[in-house]
Amino acid sequence: MQTNLLKVLTTKKEQLAGDRLVIVDSTVYMTLIFVAVVLLLHHVNYTTDYLWEVTHRFFNPYEIRIDKLLQKFAVGGFLLLSGYKLSISKLSEPAGQFLINRIKRIYPLYLIAIWVFSFSAYPYLAGEMPSRPNLMVHILGLQSVFPNLFQTNFLTIWFVSTLFCCYLLFLWLRKYLRRSSAFLIRVALFLVATALIRQIAGTYNIAAFTEDFDTYTLFFCSGMLCAQHRDRLARITRMNKWALAGTSIVSTVLLVAFRIYHPDNSLFGSAAVGYLFNIVAILGSVLPVHLLLLTAGSKLKVRSKVARLMGKMTAASYCVFLFHRPIWTALAQLWNQPSYLQSIFILGFGIPLIFVVSYWAQTFYSQAVLSRRRIRTGL
């Protein structure tokens, strides 16, 4: 009897030890938050718009473009984390090897997503099949450079095209990262070149670069700088955190006021000044929150089982980004009349299904392809 009791106590101790509290890297928390925001924004195409349901009694979130600000927070956050991780692990990798590894990690899954998207989400959302020229633009990853050239861009997965551009930008900027002034000068030159190309292309009635291409590349560059100064971020004081929070609040108020009183996005009679103000205000609203999240996670602890689950969900994040719309489209075609019951089906069943399918797809791809070359690190 006593021996059995000792065995039970020993087993419980081992279970408790196996489920101890651990610190999870802040990038994991951030990735899951960004995924959650993306799903929050995109479910409106398939079920009741709960953002509108919550806020419409107080204000119209779409008139002041709160949805666009949340988009910058989530998609910009993914790009910031990409620049952050690459600057930690890939500063000295040969350029050719870097491109091969990035393409191998990102491109095949992206091609599968294009094929699936073209037969599911695109006709469901656009009301037509994508044309061959439109498919070719997406296959080449050029939809962020030449947006809506033949038809509208594939929603969501245009992000991958911007990511490809950021990879090329990374190769050009990484050798200047240790000299902040030289780095920032080259970022400014890149933005000026982008604006000139956009202007020249416009004279020929060609749209060059997506509307927020500049903003997203700045998020990526900010991630590179965060990696370079991560020791300083780790020692950030409480006063500095309050300053970051205050900057975010003030910038958000200014941005909302600008959009209410200047719906044409011009400022002082100039569209260019309005565009620049919009970029600065967005960065001022969102980047401080990113920095706070990046520093806050270093002290948060969770159970090891929860940490493992979070790790698996994070590992599936890229495929979640690629395939959540096709999965939701399939479910919406089974039950397309918005209601609370339909929401339980689309969201309550659909979101777990998205993560399971995405984790399976990412795991299969990693084991079948990536593990052979032991390619590591995130996007």
The per-residue pLDDT for range 74-120, each reduced to its tens digit, is 999 999 999 999 999 888 889 999 999 899 899 999 999 999 999 99
* Local structure of residue 267 (DSSP, 8 states): B
Residue 345 has what DSSP assignment? I
Lowest mean pLDDT among 120-129, 236-245, 367-376: 367-376
Task: Supply the pLDDT for residue 240.
Answer: 87
In the predicted model, what is the mean pLDDT of residues 195-207? 88
In DSSP terms, 301 is beta-bridged to 23
pTM of the model: 0.88
Residues facing residue 270 across a β-bridge: 267
C-alpha closest to that of 323 among 347, 346, 357, 363: 357
Least confident of 42-56, 143-157, 208-222, 326-340: 42-56
3-state secondary structure of 211: coil
pLDDT reading at 298 higher than 70: no
How far is the C-alpha of 198 from the C-alpha of 270, rounded, in Å?
17
pLDDT band at 365 (very low <50, low <70, confident <90, very high): confident
Tens-place pLDDT, residues 346-358: 999 999 999 999 9
The one-character DSSP state at 270 is B
Task: Give the number of residues written for the chain.
Answer: 379
For position 173, what pLDDT does the model report?
A: 93
pLDDT at 14: 41
pLDDT of residue 355: 94
Q: How far apart are CA 137 and CA 310, in angstroms?
A: 35
3-42 pLDDT tens trace: 443 343 344 444 445 568 887 788 889 999 999 999 999 9
As a whole-number percent, the residues of the chain with pLDDT over 90 amount to 48
Summarize the confidence of residues 124-141 as an average pLDDT.
91
Predicted confidence at residue 3, as pLDDT, reads: 45
What pLDDT score does 370 carry? 66
- When pLDDT is cut at 50, 70 and 90, the band that residue 235 belongs to is confident
pLDDT of residue 37: 94
**Does residue 44 register a pLDDT over 50?**
yes
Band the pLDDT of 251: cuts 50, 70, 90.
very high
Rounded mean pLDDT, 364-370? 79
CA dist 193 and 295 (Å) reads: 33
**pLDDT value of residue 340:** 84
